[in-house]
Structure 1
Amino acid sequence: MVELIVVMVLAGILAAYAIPKVSGALGARDDAWHDSLQGALRFAQKGAVARRRLTCVTITSTTVTVSSAAVNPASSCTSNINGPNGTSTFASSTNSSSATTVSPSGTIYFQPDGRVTTDGAGTTSANRTITMSGASSITVYGETGYVE
């Protein structure tokens, strides 16, 4: 009985030490996803202006892909832009339980002048808000394409 109590006390001490470390590691993982997503959006906005091409960003709960139009003017993106790891996925989250949403939903279109619009034709500028679990939200301003 004494041995059982000693084991339980030791397990409690280890749990009190380990739980903050695990939650800190999970928070760092969410921060990394936030930073990767923000970097992809900034890359897309700057790339649209530099290439003078429509650039599209598609965000799922765990991945970001960036694509570009082959010619200008265009209303859709046809060529994937490879991310830092050389694949068509520009950024990905290692947290499979992360919940990332774009409001209003859908593809984010960066026009050649840097604006963010609701469609590839560029008729209406719109602010976009990207929210994710465990991290602060990201706002993309429609008229300027500024990512905050």
Structure 2
Amino acid sequence: MRRRARGFTLVELITTMILIGILSAVAIPRLSGTSSFSERGFRDGVFTALSHARRVAVASRRFVCVSITSSIVTVTRDLGTNPEAAASVSCTAPVPLPGAGSGCSANAVCAPNGVAAGGTAIVVFDPLGRSITTPNTVAPATVTISNQADITVAAETGYVQ
């Protein structure tokens, strides 16, 4: 009686090695980068900062400013005594953000390395929660994050989407 050989044939081994080589060339570069996660996390942080700024403006009946640079987004509030005086908005008081990240101040969201923000430089929410550009001029705002969907602030409602 003849025994049957166990193991793989040479053709099966070569085919398996070719398939593993193709998969490693395609899949590993996609798994090693975390930039898309960093970009999405920064976008979510900016979205939260804008939404929180609008809520603070309505709740405190004061102007709240969101300053946007390429690497940091800060939220400050006007301490003026007349909430209707849009001509003299001076946002100087920091507004603490919920869940502020490490390495940044309590009123800011910092961009990770390789991620940048752009668009409207300063978004001001009036006491009614509207997005304004100049005194009594309601206007929409747009914030762009690298490789992510834009964040828009509706003019009349201040709704962040």
**The TM-score by the shorter chain falls in which range?**
0.7 to 0.9
2:133 corresponds to 1:123: no
RMSD of the TM alignment (CA)?
Answer: 2.2
Give, in whole Å, the separation in 1 of the partners of 2:150 and 2:50.
13
The 8 Å contact of residues 79 and 90 in structure 2, kept in 1 or not, is answered as no
Per-residue CA deviations over 1:89-135 (Å, capped at 9, x if unaligned) read: 421121x3323212xx331110011011003xx31000111112111
2:113 corresponds to 1:90: no
Tell me the equivalent position of 2:35. 26
In the alignment, residue 46 of structure 1 is paired with which amino acid?
Answer: R
In the alignment, residue 141 of structure 1 is paired with which amino acid?
Answer: A
Structure 2 length-normalised TM: 0.73
Tell me the equivalent position of 1:16. 26
The 8 Å contact of residues 63 and 89 in structure 1, kept in 2 or not, is answered as no
Give, in whole Å, the separation in 2 of the partners of 1:116 and 1:17.
44
From the CA coordinates, give the structure whose radius of gyration is larger: 2
Give, in whole Å, the separation in 2 of the partners of 1:18 and 1:72.
58
The 8 Å contact of residues 52 and 72 in structure 1, kept in 2 or not, is answered as no
Tell me the equivalent position of 1:56. 65
The 8 Å contact of residues 66 and 80 in structure 1, kept in 2 or not, is answered as yes
Give, in whole Å, the separation in 2 of the partners of 1:81 and 1:51.
11
Per-residue deviation at 1:53? 0.7
2:85 corresponds to 1:70: no
2:38 corresponds to 1:38: no
The 8 Å contact of residues 65 and 89 in structure 1, kept in 2 or not, is answered as yes
Give, in whole Å, the separation in 2 of the partners of 1:78 and 1:132.
25
2:157 corresponds to 1:144: yes
Residue 15 to residue 89, structure 1, CA distance change in 2 (3 Å)? farther
Give, in whole Å, the separation in 1 of the partners of 2:23 and 2:121.
48
Percent of aligned pairs with the same residue?
Answer: 30
Give the unaligned 5+ runs of structure 1.
1-8
Mean CA deviation greater in 12-21 or 37-46? 12-21
The 8 Å contact of residues 140 and 155 in structure 2, kept in 1 or not, is answered as yes
Structure 1 length-normalised TM: 0.79
2:82 corresponds to 1:79: no
The 8 Å contact of residues 58 and 128 in structure 2, kept in 1 or not, is answered as yes
